[in-house]
Amino acid sequence: MNYSAGMEKPPKYVARIDNIYFINRVGTSLREATSNLTAEELPENIRLLLRRLKRMEDRLKSRKGE
């Protein structure tokens, strides 16, 4: 069977940090859920996670821009 690039399924996971796989839109939901809190109010593990997700998104954007 011949598959074209247009027939490929979108990736089920968009980010992997350590052994955690993030399903599409989880990062967006996390940012929305924490948007009314200051960084100081968030637990350190959530701040770390948000920073890592931001770096991954920045890398993805820079790759697409090439």
Q: With a cut of 50, say whether residue 49 has pLDDT above it.
A: yes
Q: Is the pTM of this model over 0.75?
A: no
Give CA 16 to chain center in angstroms: 8
Residue 3 has pLDDT above 50, yes or no: no
Q: Which domain holds residue 14?
A: 5-65
How far is Cα 5 from Cα 59, in angstroms, rounded to an integer? 22
| HSE-up (13 A, CA, CB side) for residue 55 | 8
Total domains in the chain come to 1
| Per-residue model confidence as pLDDT tens digits over 29-42 | 888 999 999 989 99
Residues 6+ apart with CB under 8 A from 13: 21, 22, 23, 24
For residue 55, give the amino acid letter: R
Confidence of residue 13 (pLDDT cuts 50, 70, 90): low
Beta bridge partners of 22: 15
**What pLDDT score does 10 carry?**
57
Taking residues 31-55, what's their average pLDDT? 90
